[in-house]
Amino acid sequence: MRTIRVRPGPPLRGSVTISGAKNSVLKLMAACLLAPGDHLLDNVPEIVDVKIMMELIGGMGVETSWAGPNKLKVSVPGDMGFEAPYEHVEKMRASIVVLGPLMGRLGRAKVSMPGGDDFGSRPIGMHLDGIEAMGAISDISHGYVNCKLPNGVRRLSGARIVLEFPSHTTTDNLIMAAVLAKGTTVIENAAREPEVVDLASFLDSMGAKIDGAGTSRIEIEGVEELSPTQHTVIADRVETATFLAALAVGGGEIDLVGGRFDHLDMFIEKLGEMGVRISPTSSGLWASSPGHIQSTDVATLPYPGVATDYKPLITTILSVAEGVGIVTENLFSGRFRYIDELKRMGADIRTEGHHAVIRGVPKLSGTIVRASDIRAGAALVVAGLVAEGETTVVGVEHIDRGYENFDRKLAGLGCDVERNG
């Protein structure tokens, strides 16, 4: 059984290089399906979710290979399959993003219902509503989403789509479906995340015409065809937040190479309220923490608000902060499941509906804890940095889905962290 063992150590010192964004590269790999030929993606993290996506599109006839460190070559055939089978999709919810490019290019898709992290229902209804608004016919049967164009129709048609919620994945899927559609598509209440902007930039370099990415209104003028391209993936803002959380509880001073201040505005503001100092530099971010932090209240909201991915990290920080803080989850109801593990470590946390009331304690206590998803696993490792004795985190396979060399990067900052198995 693979584990990560953590003991408290000295304040963090040194620099860490932030990897490419998991939540961007998976969509970029799916977007490659829109154009036959050889694509090259740079700054790709070598993580499990990327390997799963490589296997998924490989099942459609796409060849992928590493062209160098963190450089991924994606070779898309002219004759490509349209089915994303269960054995790949059930491992990762983000697999649903192949639906948009398959419908955009082939006009047909069969995608298994998505699996992945277990933190509440995230229905795909908005994806299907948007695809249907563009002229597709869809149904769900035998565990698969089936989409196709009506007989005699060759391409999707542009439409005005108003999202009920600014879903990041739905926005990405509909952009990819729209770039080869006939006419103009407008997505209202679109997600504004930096990863959406990264996808639009990638598609524009392929020949797409997209306006408004990064705002709540995105307009896509469909084109006849796209061409393969090269692209560098943006830095992972959640990984950046994770190392900032480690610094917040452990104290010290670090440089985060590649970290983007402008992608973390609200998270950085909240850390500032706790006593962490963060400034942009020519190479990324500089940050320092006294190691003794103050409580604050935090609510998760769609970007540019505090992302739900940050919440396990924030809860961990507040568990050793001075005072009482309240964390409110407004996005996914099941994302308090890691709290029982923090309580096993001595955290004083009470949950009431969508709220967690956290009374800080001076130190946590090391024990064996289990990761339930990617971010919860990283947060438990961070908690181990301020837990007396030794903390053993099991379920490391979750962490490996989203973090490249996480334990080694922490060790490079002076943390007493070691992987076993």
Mean pLDDT within 284-310: 96
Query: 98 with 76: CB under 8 angstroms?
Result: no
Task: Tell me the pLDDT band of 122, cut-offs 50, 70 and 90.
Answer: very low
Q: Return the H-helix or E-strand segment holding 160.
A: strand 160-162
Q: Residue 206's pLDDT band (boundaries 50, 70, 90)? A: very high
pLDDT at 93 over 80: no
Is pLDDT of 323 > 80?
Answer: yes
Q: Please name the helix (run of DSSP H) or strand (run of DSSP E) that holds residue 411, with its range, or none.
A: helix 406-412
SS (H, E, C) 254-290: EEEECCCHHHCHHHHHHHHHHCCEEEECCCEEEEEEC
C-alpha separations of 172 from 21, 26, 120 in Å: 15, 11, 21
CB atoms near residue 40 (< 10 Å):
18
**Fold type of domain 3-19+235-420:** UDP-n-acetylglucosamine1-carboxyvinyl-transferase; Chain (3.65.10)
Residue 289: its pLDDT value, please?
Answer: 98
Q: In this structure, is the dihedral angle defined by the CA atoms of residues 57, 31, 332 and 337, taken in order, positive or negative?
A: positive
The pLDDT of residue 333 is: 64
223-268 tens-digit pLDDT: 999 999 999 999 999 999 999 999 999 999 999 999 999 999 999 9
Beta-strand relationship, 108-112 and 83-84: parallel
| 348-382 confidence digits (pLDDT tens) | 999 998 999 999 999 999 999 999 999 999 999 99
Q: What is the DSSP letter of 163?
A: -
Q: Could you please state the CATH topology (level 3) that the domain comprising 22-232 is classified under.
A: UDP-n-acetylglucosamine1-carboxyvinyl-transferase; Chain (3.65.10)
Say yes or no to pLDDT of 115 above 70.
no
Residue 209, Cβ neighbours under 10 Å: how many? 13
Instruction: Quote the tokens at residue 130.
Output: 């948007």
What's the order of all strands across the beta sheet hosting 184-188?
Answer: 160-162, 184-188, 217-221, 209-211
Same fold, 3-19+235-420 and 22-232: yes
The pLDDT assigned to 90 comes to 82
241 contact partners, CB below 8 Å, separation of at least 6: 264, 267, 309, 310, 313
Is residue 59 classed as helix, strand or coil in its secondary structure? coil
Give the start-to-end residue ranges of the domains of the chain: 3-19+235-420, 22-232
**pLDDT at 335 (0 to 100):** 59
- The percent of residues above 90 in pLDDT, for the chain, comes to 90
